[in-house]
Structure 1
């Protein structure tokens, strides 16, 4: 297949590109800066989101599109940062849909990046793809608007999947290195109440799920990209301590995290139990359904 990826130079985008090429696919990465391209076999770079860019002709014949473009949610959530988090996703998705509309042959599927933040947070509810949000905090509002923008693809007869990504465990970046740091310094312990749910997923399963969503014609609509066994933060932290052989003893109270991170602290202090029902119903087999097994593979 010929697969186009926006956000293909990011952590997930790069690993997804490598996986798809290994599977025999050709990948086209849409990027603002083609000068940063890497010379890889079966990987092409196309400029977009710049005034003089004209990507339509170069995207004819694309079979599938994965949309991962958007400002990183990491960093203090100032008013400007929050505006960029939302506007970057809506701008990229709107432009992507405009490009697709001008293609003579439309792609068969759009897998649009989203996040488990769609569901809000809850210590008691369990969410599947059929559930509505418990509340609408900032990230919930962002993901709902992002999915609504992407839903225009369905009007073009394109199978559309909303990939609601959980907390990605990856030794190369994302949340995990930040979670490991206190334990490396022998200062790890309970974070907040420790009762908040962590709906996590190993990077390898995440990448395989994206590929699964592209190839499985029966999948459409929301798809939870999380492992089937979420855990409480306290359990995840104790597992990190066990795998690393470090003590779990110095707590990080909620007020200290809120003071340090501001509103972004919700990523750490609030959680939800997200179950990947549709992936399991359609026969996807997780390689890492236990956090200890996942951490051992990543760290050892």
Structure 2
């Protein structure tokens, strides 16, 4: 298959690319920087991120694509100044609108357009469990970004293309994402509860993320929002106990929420608040998790 990925050099994009390459699919990665690959199945395509109206990058592409994965967007792990918040939004909308324009002009109709999204779509709550049936308005900056990003991707559906919104939870990987940062705290003996510890962590193992992305790409019955989370969610204090146990480190340090707020500002909600998000679509379509529980996921990650 011919598969186009934006954000293909990022954390999730790289993992997905590696899986596709092993299965001998041709992967075309849109990138802001000039790159080359000696691998016969990996192709880098440079685009101009200062001008999303320019689709000259498409001139040397194949005449057809089977799947498109859109993961491009400025990182959330920088300080959320007003200027940077605008970049978070504009980078996502700009890329998605550019892909829409290219697909409309080219007439290409892949099996699916899989757009990155986040469980940040749902409001934070210590009580309510959410799934894909819940249709909600924006409650904060992050949910506003998710709503507007999904709305931009939904327009691609008007071209007769199946669109999937992959709402990622907290993705667990030994070398990428939030887990290595958490691990450092425990190794420094300052791991433990954050804020009141009751906030939900809707986590998922990176291998299940990749498998879920492949699954929704080819499953013609799936469209719209898909929560890419594990089926068994935990509260932060439970998460901390499992992590401390697998690392063999103490778990007694408590970090007050106001300190996180002071250090991270608006970004603090990623740590101090959360939502319990159920992956109803994946489960109802018989997706098989490799690591359905946090204990299984952590044991796999730290046994490597």
- TM bucket by the smaller chain? over 0.9
Say whether the 8 Å CA contact 1:55–1:99 is kept in structure 2. no
- Residues 26-45 of structure 1: CA distance to partner in whole angstroms, max 9, x if unpaired? 1110112123x332231111
| Shift of residue 77, structure 1, vs aligned partner | 1.0
Deviation at 1:134, TM superposition (A): 7.3
Q: Aligned partners of 2:246, 2:167: CA distance in 1, in Å? A: 28
Structure 2 distance, partners of 1:29, 1:233, is: 36
Do the aligned residues in 1 keep the contact of 2:34 with 2:46 (CA within 8 Å)? yes
| Structure 1 residue 299 displacement after superposition | 1.6
Write out per-residue CA displacement over residues 152-174 of structure 1, whole angstroms, 9 at most, x where no aligned residue.
11110000000000000011111
How many matched pairs? 299
Q: Does 1:139 align with 2:142?
A: yes
Structure 2 gap segments, 5+ residues each: none
Q: Which residue of 1 aligns with 2:284?
A: 281
CA contact (8 A) 1:195 1:234 kept: yes
Other-structure match for 2:56:
54
Would you say the 8 A contact 1:123–1:195 is kept in 2?
yes
Tell me which of 209, 212, 215 is aligned to 2:215. 212
Bigger mean CA deviation after superposition, 21-30 or 66-75: 21-30
1:71 aligns with 2:56: no
Q: Deviations over 1:84-131 (max 9, x none)?
A: 111110011011111111213322210000000001211111011001
| Alpha-carbon distance, 1:70 to partner | 0.2
Q: Which secondary structure state, in structure 2, belongs to the residue aligned with residue 55 of structure 1?
A: helix
Match of 2:7 in 1: 7
Verify the 8 A CA contact 1:199 1:273 in the aligned structure 2.
yes
> TM-score with structure 2 length normalisation?
0.95
CA distance in 2, matches of 1:248, 1:156: 52
Aligned twin of 2:272: 269
- Give the CA deviation at 1:219: 0.6
TM-score scaled by length of structure 1: 0.96
Residues 234-273 of structure 1: pairs in structure 2 closer than 5 A: 234-273=237-276
1:59 Cα deviation (Å)?
4.5
The answer to whether the aligner puts 1:44 opposite 2:47 as a matched pair is no
In structure 2, the partner of 1:18 is 18
Map residues 172-251 of structure 1 onto 2, 5 A cutoff: 172-251=175-254
2:264 and 2:182 mapped to 1: Cα distance? 14
CA contact (8 A) 1:182 1:188 kept: yes
1:55 to partner: Cα distance: 2.4
Question: Residues 208-262 of structure 1: CA distance to partner in whole angstroms, max 9, x if unpaired?
Answer: 1000011111110000000001100000011000000001011111011111111
Alignment correspondent of 2:151 = 148
Whether the 8 Å CA contact 2:169–2:204 is kept in 1: the answer is yes
Q: Once the two structures are superposed, what CA deviation does each residue of 1:118-148 show, in whole Å capped at 9, x if it has no partner?
A: 0121111101100123751111000000000
Q: Give RMSD over aligned pairs.
A: 1.3
Cα distance in 1 for partners of 2:295, 2:10 equals: 26
Aligned ranges 1:160-179 → 2 under 5 Å: 160-179=163-182
